[in-house]
């Protein structure tokens, strides 16, 4: 998502967990890095506009977070890994563009006395040295996510070694990921006014049209499989 997404869904999503600590990390999607492929004046102007929108909206999201949480921590986004040789050809200039968002996040945090974790700098070092952290220039692998989690904990004085998670933690994580699929699909396609049967019908029709299959199809398949469990999932998450 983008910072604007975080603002729009703050009440329905973030507040659900009743957080006392909120981590805020945006910038990758906000950057509209794909526009770098167009090489035209209109795209260049939109890229500049997108950065201004990010700078306008980050303070708004922080204000929402500070109203409900005891502590707000800003994190810079991981790098756009322009240097990886695997996957699709990288977008030239993507690294420097995303760095502008990371730099602003850092400046904003320091100027407003907020805790800051420099994920961009950390991933700049390790992702360049080891291509297994990121296979598509954008999304960290499980190894990449582990590294980021380790950085977050180390900044707070904790250590993270390879270890087996408790069954309860694993169960919560599994149920939470399923619930988010349900929430995201219904939010993206504005299904709040439709009945359960209509929502599932919409999901099945979307799969048939084969739009953006690489991104949406797995999520929608999980939606069809688990939608009737939504209320039970929410209850389990709160209980755990």
- pLDDT-derived band at 155 (thresholds 50, 70, 90) equals confident
Give the pLDDT confidence score for residue 28 in this predicted structure: 94
Report which of residues 96 and 206 the model is more confident about: 96
Question: Exposed/middle/buried for 102, CB within 10 Å: 0-12, 13-18, 19+?
Answer: buried
pLDDT at 6 over 80: yes
Let me know how long the chain is.
Answer: 240
pTM recorded for the entire structure = 0.75
Q: For a pLDDT cut of 70, what percent of the chain falls above it?
A: 94
Q: Quick check: 216 and 209 in contact, CB under 8 A?
A: no
Give the pLDDT confidence score for residue 32 in this predicted structure: 94
Q: Quick check: 53 and 27 in contact, CB under 8 A?
A: no
In 3D, which of 83, 111, 98 has the Cα closest to residue 25? 98
pLDDT at 78 over 60: yes
Q: Which tens digits make up the pLDDT trace of 82-137?
A: 887 777 788 999 999 999 999 999 999 999 999 999 999 999 988 777 777 887 88
The mean pLDDT of the chain is: 86
Give the pLDDT confidence score for residue 165 in this predicted structure: 62
DSSP string over 97-136 = HHHHHHHHHHHHHHHTT-EEE-HHHHHHHHHHH-GGGBSS
The CA distance from 31 to 48, in Å, is 9
pLDDT at 161 over 70: no
């Amino acid at each position: 998502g983008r910072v604007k997404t975080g603002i729009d869904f703050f009440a329905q999503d973030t507040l659900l967990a009743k957080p006392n600590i909120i981590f805020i990390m945006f910038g990758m999607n906000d950057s509209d890095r794909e526009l770098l492929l167009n090489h035209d004046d209109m795209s260049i102007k939109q890229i500049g506009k997108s950065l201004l929108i990010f700078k306008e909206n980050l303070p708004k999201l922080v204000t929402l977070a500070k109203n409900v949480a005891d502590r707000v921590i800003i994190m810079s986004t991981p790098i756009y890994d322009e240097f990886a040789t695997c996957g699709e050809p990288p977008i030239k200039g993507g690294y420097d563009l995303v760095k502008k968002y990371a730099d602003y996040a850092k400046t904003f945090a320091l100027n407003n006395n907020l805790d800051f974790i420099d994920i961009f700098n950390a991933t700049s070092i390790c992702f360049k040295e080891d291509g297994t952290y990121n296979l598509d220039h954008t999304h960290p692998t499980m190894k990449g996510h582990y590294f980021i989690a380790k950085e977050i904990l180390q900044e707070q004085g904790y250590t993270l070694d390879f270890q087996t998670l408790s069954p309860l933690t694993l169960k919560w994580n599994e149920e939470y990921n399923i619930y988010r699929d349900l929430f995201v699909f219904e939010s993206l396609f504005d299904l709040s006014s439709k009945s359960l049967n209509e929502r599932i019908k919409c999901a099945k029709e979307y799969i048939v049209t084969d739009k953006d299959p690489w991104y949406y199809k797995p999520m929608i398949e999980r939606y069809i499989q688990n939608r009737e469990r939504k209320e039970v999932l929410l209850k389990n998450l709160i209980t755990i």
